[in-house]
Structure 1
Amino acid sequence: MRIGLVGFGHAGRFFHAPLITSLPGVTLVGVVTRSAERRQHLASAYPGVSAYDSLGQLAETGVDLLVIATPLGGRPEQVMQAIELGLAVVSEKPFAADAQQAQHLVAAAQHHNVLLSVYQNRRWDSDFLTVRKLIEAGALGAVTRFESFIERFSPASVGNASGGGLLRDLGSHQVDQALQLFGPVVSVYAERACSPQAPHLDHTFFMALTHRNGVLSHLGASVLQNSPRPRFRVSGTSGCYSVEGLDGQEAALLAGRSPTTCGEDWGAEEHRRWGWFEQGEERERVPSEHGGWDQFYRQMIAAVEGRAPVPVLPQAAVQALEVLDAARLSAQRGEVVTLAQDENRK
């Protein structure tokens, strides 16, 4: 399996290349980056992997799969270029600025009979997998409220345009997770906060989603929060599960670790980071599931080889963008926005 990577910034360098190169039978054949500094990083970390000036040059070397990990501003154009070249493609999230642009890319992929998937790696977070397991086992009873927050204090991140603002960036993960657990959304209320220096790039947001099945999802993120809320708090008729802090795979990759260096310990959370089940005075630790961001690529490779569907269906990413579009509109108008309903969606 020959994989090419377009972009070697934060995402490409830390969140894609280490996972791609950790998989057996996979070759990272080249990286598109014109930055001299990033080419030095590439040569140091992956000797023998060539750097290219353009997606077209990389494609000419012969690749089975292209991964687009560039900033949102140019990402849709590069996804389209890969599609038109007839190459299977993985896009960083969000893979478009809005749902209309995303649907255009999905239609193009279908027209060219090309596999397209979106890198929703946080479906394989340890805490999310634990939440899903508890819900499916009925341990929480009927879920009534799902709270998901990613908050940190990182002033240097304010105004970072690579993900199109925090709502589009982290919000893509959080909405995707909520849709995976509870299905379609019928209405959205949202608030956004931006700095005067970057009035179109939110650094903080809050969303209240009402799902068709009646569950309420409260989602939010901030890079200016000194006192973060729990990562998840899931309330049901039989109890509540909560967990602090982020899944450890991000920190591990940033520290230079990977599935290759960690082996079977990859994605395992130390017991002091496990969450809690609580009901009344009852309180007990819940062992966290193993996280596995590398599972995205294992499933994508299987899809390219014709053995499985893509790990994240592009239409699911379009549905998440529809919710994000409604959230931006809600924040602009200061009112609840109702989404058009497709009864065929589950």
Structure 2
Amino acid sequence: MTTPVRIGLAGYGFGGRFFHGPLLASAHECEFLGVVTTSPERRAQVARDLDRPIFASLEELARAGAEAVAVSTPAATHMALAQEAMNLGLAVVCDKPFALDAASARETAELADRLGLTLTVYQNRRWDSDFLTLRRLVDQGRLGTLTRLESRFERFDPEPGPPAAGGGTLLDFGSHLVDQALVLSGPVERVYAETRHRRGAGRLDEDVFVALTHRSGVRSHLWGSWRQGAPGPRFRATGTSGTFLVDGMDGQEALLTAGASPASEGERWGVEPENRWGHVLRGAYAEPVPSARGAWDLFYPAFAAAVRGTGPVPVDPWDAVETATVLDAARAAAHSGRTISLS
């Protein structure tokens, strides 16, 4: 067994407190050193939640012997903090959205390459139960040739709506939706999008639709919303010989926000009950499909292996550059009302 990677957490908002903190503490391959935050409110929360040190800066974390840091701060700060951390010699996990635009994403990925440091992006939804099940069905050919993906992150939370820290629905939910579509169907040729912005200060986009045409011929239709009173299916993936349909969100987020973790749940972690399984449909025929185990708990062990040089990063940062490129095109398409072609 290799020595655990000494890692800190920068930021202790919703993502840091409920996602990264419990997953880091559950990963035997990581030694969770503590939290970097200067907010008095966050520092008090860390003191209540964790028996770990609080650091005032990334430099202080590095002096304490850290080898890596997970950045879970507002989206607008991701690139500056990731670059600062790498210039201190730290490997980095950066939460999504990786960057506000593709140029910043590319600059940060290039810096990691120049410095020879491990950089990855927290695209945890690649390890959702429903997405893993869909990938398995496609790989097994049980849908025939995939022709269309419909994917939704829809919630009804009009007040306060999308949190400013996420940068709006296109960046926040869209980072997951586009990343999953790229993993499933490959590079994108054309992008069309529609967005609706909330009224008042900030005017964050709160409802988005993005249509992608992949080089493979697959078309992905993606919805993200904070104001959808009747959310549609999580996935409806149609192939030449059948359609996979699944409702509801993967249960791992609900477990974490309820105080559970991979450490507390053990083998039960990520297991979906039968009443939440999806179905393969062929007309009137509906075949239930046992859900793959949700596996967010695999992310940090994979990151630790990459830092130690014994495995690949869980998410290639250049995948995040590609996602940011598609999101840039979606923003331009929504603004112009035209379809954007990508070379």
Normalized against structure 1, the TM-score is what? 0.96
Structure 2 CA distance, aligned partners of 1:338 and 1:277? 33
Structure 2 CA distance, aligned partners of 1:159 and 1:282? 39
Q: 1:107 aligns with which of 99, 106, 110?
A: 110
Paired residues, what number? Answer: 339
Q: Is the 8 A contact 2:244 2:280 kept in 1?
A: yes
In structure 2, the CA distance between the partners of 1:280 and 1:159, relative to structure 1 (3 Å rule), is closer
Q: How far does the alpha carbon of each residue in 1:269-313 deviate from its partner, in whole angstroms, 9 at most, with x for none?
A: 111011111101211211100001111111100001110111100
Q: 1:130 aligns with which of 130, 133, 151?
A: 133
**Is residue 146 from structure 1 mapped to residue 149 from structure 2 by the alignment?**
yes
Structure 2 CA distance, aligned partners of 1:157 and 1:181? 33
Instruction: For residue 164 of structure 1, report the CA deviation from its aligned partner.
Output: 0.8
Q: Is the 8 A contact 1:159 1:197 kept in 2?
A: no
Q: 2:50 aligns with which of 40, 46, 51?
A: 46
Q: 2:58 aligns with which of 47, 52, 55?
A: 55
- The equivalent of 1:307 in structure 2 is 310
**Is residue 30 from structure 1 mapped to residue 34 from structure 2 by the alignment?**
yes
- The equivalent of 2:13 in structure 1 is 9
Structure 2 CA distance, aligned partners of 1:27 and 1:298? 11
Q: Is the 8 A contact 1:159 1:198 kept in 2?
A: no
Structure 2 CA distance, aligned partners of 1:57 and 1:322? 34
Aligned CA RMSD, in angstroms, stands at 1.0
Instruction: For residue 25 of structure 1, report the CA deviation from its aligned partner.
Output: 4.4
- The equivalent of 2:336 in structure 1 is 333
Structure 1 CA distance, aligned partners of 2:84 and 2:292? 38
Q: Is the 8 A contact 2:170 2:208 kept in 1?
A: yes
One-letter amino acid matched to 1:166: T
**Is residue 277 from structure 1 mapped to residue 272 from structure 2 by the alignment?**
no
Aligned counterparts, 1:239-318, within 5 A: 239-318=242-321
One-letter amino acid matched to 1:270: P
- The equivalent of 1:344 in structure 2 is none
Structure 1 CA distance, aligned partners of 2:155 and 2:274? 22
In structure 2, the CA distance between the partners of 1:237 and 1:159, relative to structure 1 (3 Å rule), is closer
Q: What SS does structure 1 have at the residue aligned with 2:264?
A: helix
Structure 1 CA distance, aligned partners of 2:176 and 2:65? 31
Q: How far does the alpha carbon of each residue in 1:238-285 deviate from its partner, in whole angstroms, 9 at most, with x for none?
A: 110010010000011000000011100000111101111110121121
Structure 2 CA distance, aligned partners of 1:198 and 1:219? 26
Q: Is the 8 A contact 2:128 2:250 kept in 1?
A: yes
Runs (5+) with no aligned partner, structure 2: none
Runs (5+) with no aligned partner, structure 1: 341-346
Structure 2 CA distance, aligned partners of 1:199 and 1:60? 38
Structure 2 CA distance, aligned partners of 1:3 and 1:245? 33
Instruction: For residue 156 of structure 1, report the CA deviation from its aligned partner.
Output: 2.9
Percent identity, please: 50
Structure 1 CA distance, aligned partners of 2:198 and 2:96? 23
- The equivalent of 2:23 in structure 1 is 19
Q: What SS does structure 2 have at the residue aligned with 1:186?
A: strand
Normalized against structure 2, the TM-score is what? 0.97
